Amino acid sequence: MNLRTLRRDKRAFTLVEIIIATSILAFLMVTLHRVFLVSSSAWKKGDVRIKMYQNGRVCLDVMSREIRCALISPGNSQLVFNGDEDALSYVSTFHKSDESGEFDLFEVGYSLSSQGEVLRRIKTRLDSSSARGGATSVLANNILELSFSYNNEGVWQDRWDSSLGTPDNTRDDYLPQAVQINIIVQDERLLESPLLLSTAVTIPTGGK
């Protein structure tokens, strides 16, 4: 076999073969790109959803922990529990007591600002001016809705007033047995649909 014969046996790719190979490669690249985009989009949505959930759960956990420690004292106008659908104000205790075993009291309130912020108001010096004064901080952002409802003996209502300071009428001088908190969370980039989170907080000292 001479050199001329070897050259005749070595066939080059035809134009048709090159076109077919290029088409297959292009199809694979497009498919891989689409898979990457779908996976990336799913990951971003999942990450946004997790952040929305965490934002809402932290807010609910703080409120639940404090509402569970709510207290009143009939005839004492400084110890109040007053709430409606949009806001709540009451007296609670810090979770740590001092060396004498006595708990510090503080007035706490929750409301939703026009900027979608859950505001938490804390007043450490109690006085007759309930629902006013104290320091306000932001508990959560990107909240579309905050609402409360109050349960006593299985009946839910959208308003509760402990009516303290009225010795001649003590029928409703007590705490609700439970408080339902609902919040609707929105992500800041508006990529996901709003997320509704809710919890029912049982108050051990509630009811008649």
Out of 20-24, 140-144, 191-195, 203-207, give the one with best mean pLDDT.
140-144
C-alpha 59/C-alpha 70 separation (Å) is 17
On whether the CB atoms of residues 108 and 90 are closer than 8 A, the answer is yes
pLDDT in the model for residue 147: 96
List the single range of 101-115, 135-149, 179-193 with lowest mean pLDDT.
101-115
Q: Give the C-alpha distances (Å, rounded to integers) separating 95 from 81, 91, 101.
A: 19, 13, 11
Look-up of token digits 């006013």:
132
Confidence of residue 201 (pLDDT cuts 50, 70, 90): very high
Q: Across residues 127-143, what is the average pLDDT?
A: 81
**pTM for the full predicted model:** 0.71
- Does the pLDDT at position 149 exceed 80? yes
**Domains in the chain: boundaries:** 51-202
pLDDT in the model for residue 65: 92
